Amino acid sequence: MSIDPFGVSFKLHRILPGDVGIAAGIENLILGDASDTVPSGYGVIGKVFKLKPSEREAFSRLRVSVGVGGGRFRDIDHLDEDTVNVFGNIGVQVVEPLSIFADWTGQDLNAGLSFVPFPTVPLIITPVVQDLTGNANDNPRFSISVGGSIQF
């Protein structure tokens, strides 16, 4: 088993009226020495649909997003070109601290879950099975990310 090198990414986002959100960011702006990826800029818009009145109820929220990006968001045949591609995501909040999702990155289909282990700490853990279609590799891969937030 090998552990891939690390990457540091940045994102700015804003919640708008009507449960709409927008974001722009760059993934992998800072990379480890052995990385085989490139920085990937993107812009995205998303919407939360309230399926039930209370967020505390099971299956109460549906989240959908669509965006455009370069770098890793390009399809496999255009990775070396200076182009952008469309990506998207759909997720369901199973219970308040746990959601499941599927996303299309522009080249890979991924599925995973996202959970907040501590209700008062802005920490999100996201294990994912990547490349379910085999576009980038012969076998699906497992990854896990840990994210936090700073509000100002």
Q: Is residue 60 part of a domain?
A: yes
H-helix or E-strand spanning residue 139: none
* Residue 53, in any domain of the structure: yes
Q: What is the mean pLDDT of residues 122-132?
A: 95
In a domain, 6, yes or no: no
State how far the Cα of 76 lies from the Cα of 28, in Å rounded to an integer.
18
- Examine residue 36 and state whether it is found in any structural domain, yes or no: no
Contacts of 68 (CB under 8 A, 6+ apart): 42, 43, 44, 84, 85, 86, 87
In a domain, 26, yes or no: no
Tell me whether residue 96 is in a domain.
yes
Residue 88 domain-assigned (yes or no): yes
At residue 72, φ and ψ (nearest 5 deg) are -70, -10
Range name among 18-27, 58-67, 72-81, 125-134 with the lowest pLDDT average: 72-81
Q: In the predicted model, is pLDDT for residue 30 greater than 80? A: yes
Instruction: Kindly state the tokens that stand for 51.
Output: 């399926």
What are the φ and ψ backbone dihedral angles of 71, each rounded to 5 degrees? Answer: 60, -125
47's enclosing H/E stretch is: strand 40-50
Q: Let me know: does 143 contact 127? Beta carbons within 8 Å.
A: yes
Task: Indicate the average pLDDT of the chain.
Answer: 90
Nearest to 140 by CA among 108, 115, 103: 108
The single residue listed with the structure tokens 């909040």 is 93
107 within some domain: yes
Residue-range definition of the domain harbouring residue 101: 46-148
Give the predicted TM-score (pTM) of the model.
0.81
* pLDDT of res. 1: 47
How remote is the C-alpha of 23 from its chain's centroid? 12
Residue 2, pLDDT score: 53
